[in-house]
């Protein structure tokens, strides 16, 4: 059966400036000061993240690609007829393309890409739109909103599969991760499925190299948050005055990224009405990347109302792909 190829964009917020302003007003005045990691992904930040994924020290993307290539057939065999896939944080679209290579297309499939980055959506839509019998719909939205839009039409033949890959779950704190999984479950019907990719705890040395790479790409990715703030909100962050730092917090099972002030400095963010002094050595905490054990993943997925069907582990890079059905 053949359906026309299609690629369409649903309307999403164009400039997120009021939200960005509100976030800065809140997070930059906390102690320790923070900037939420979702703002790392403007156009340049998204491109830098794509570069990170190719670094020899950052194994997440390669490990997940290996697992998808090796087990995509098995994933579809376990699920039966899948008529809709929704990917949260679709990035370049490469992972979905790998998965779709194993879809038999005896029936057409609708693919929903959900991302806050316009450039990531353009890239992923272009990567998938040329596939036969795949209808692509892009949603420029936060995950919850985009998923609700994607799954609006409920009565359909075949299952819905939600993809949450790339260890994006790691950027949520544990209560946030559990709430997000419960939220995903609440949008699904029994028998629909979730495929979750998550990075596992590994030796500290490997984690630090992955988040503080010798080429300085991750440092640029982190500092770009200040570049973006200077550009969009006329802020006065002195880029050279901030050092990138990655720390493994073993007690919390997370890598933290910080921007540490090399010297005391006055910063103003006029469009957010902020003016403050950062002390020498003070840091702005920009990201947490939680790492899991396979058992912990099974526990949080199950607690959200799924039944874990299979878990595949990449032993080389210590990464897990977990397939679970909405119970
Ligand atoms: C998108 N996310 C899963 C990445 C991570 O590993 O936490 C973002 C990243 N931060 C630094 N390097 C990559």
Note the pLDDT tens digit of each residue in 29-70: 999 999 999 999 888 998 999 999 999 999 999 999 999 999
Note the pLDDT tens digit of each residue in 6-36: 333 333 333 458 999 999 999 999 999 999 9
Note the pLDDT tens digit of each residue in 224-262: 999 999 999 999 999 999 999 999 999 999 999 999 999
Note the pLDDT tens digit of each residue in 275-326: 999 999 999 999 999 999 999 999 999 999 999 999 999 999 999 999 999 9
Instruction: Tell me the C-alpha distance between 259 and 196, whole Å.
Output: 30
Q: What average pLDDT does this structure show over 104-129? A: 87
Q: What average pLDDT does this structure show over 174-197? A: 97
Instruction: Identify the residue whose C-alpha is closest to ligand 1 atom 2.
Output: 168
Instruction: Identify the residue whose C-alpha is closest to ligand 1 atom 1.
Output: 168
Say if ligand 1 is within 6 A of residue 224 CB: no
pLDDT band at residue 155 under the 50/70/90 scheme: low
143-163: burial string, b at 16+ Cβ within 10 Å, e else: bbbbbebbbeeeeeebbbbbb
14 Cα: distance to centroid of ligand 1 (angstroms): 24
What angle, rounded to 10 degrees, do the helices at 217-233 and 43-53 form?
A: 170
Its pTM stands at: 0.93
87 Cα: distance to centroid of ligand 1 (angstroms): 17
Calculate what percentage of the chain has a pLDDT beyond 70.
Answer: 94
Per-residue pLDDT at 216 exceeds 60: yes
Runs of H (alpha helix) within the chain: 17-27, 43-53, 60-79, 94-100, 118-129, 143-150, 174-187, 204-211, 217-233, 294-303
322 or 116: which leads in pLDDT: 322
Strand-pairing partners, residue 247, are: 256
């Amino acid at each position: 059966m053949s359906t026309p190829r299609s690629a369409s964009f649903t309307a999403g917020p164009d400039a997120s400036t009021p939200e960005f302003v509100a976030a800065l007003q809140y997070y930059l005045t906390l102690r320790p000061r923070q900037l939420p990691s979702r703002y790392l992904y403007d156009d340049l930040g998204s491109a830098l993240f794509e570069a990170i994924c190719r670094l020899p020290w950052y194994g997440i993307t390669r490990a997940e690609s290996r697992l998808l290539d090796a087990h995509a057939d098995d994933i579809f065999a376990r699920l039966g007829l899948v008529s809709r896939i929704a990917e949260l944080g679709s990035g370049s679209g490469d992972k979905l393309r790998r998965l779709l290579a194993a879809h038999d297309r005896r029936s057409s499939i609708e693919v929903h890409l959900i991302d806050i980055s316009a450039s990531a959506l353009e890239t992923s839509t272009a990567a998938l739109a040329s596939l036969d019998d795949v209808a692509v719909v892009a949603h420029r939205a936060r995950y919850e909103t985009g998923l609700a839009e994607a799954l609006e039409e409920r009565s359909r033949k075949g299952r819905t599969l939600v993809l949450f890959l790339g260890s994006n779950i790691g950027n949520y704190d544990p209560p946030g991760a559990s709430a997000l999984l419960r939220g995903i479950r609440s949008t699904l019907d029994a028998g629909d499925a979730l495929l979750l990719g998550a990075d596992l705890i590994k030796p500290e040395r490997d984690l630090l190299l992955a988040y503080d790479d010798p080429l300085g790409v991750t440092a640029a990715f982190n500092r770009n948050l200040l570049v973006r703030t200077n550009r969009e909100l006329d802020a006065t962050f002195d880029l050279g005055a901030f050092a990138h730092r990655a720390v493994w917090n073993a007690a919390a099972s997370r890598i933290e990224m910080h921007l540490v002030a090399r010297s005391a400095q006055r910063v103003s963010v006029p469009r957010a009405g902020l003016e403050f002094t950062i002390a020498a050595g003070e840091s702005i905490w920009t990201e947490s990347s939680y790492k899991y054990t396979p058992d912990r993943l099974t526990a949080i997925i199950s607690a959200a109302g799924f039944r874990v069907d299979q878990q595949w582990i990449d032993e080389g890079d210590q990464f897990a792909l977990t397939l679970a059905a909405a119970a």
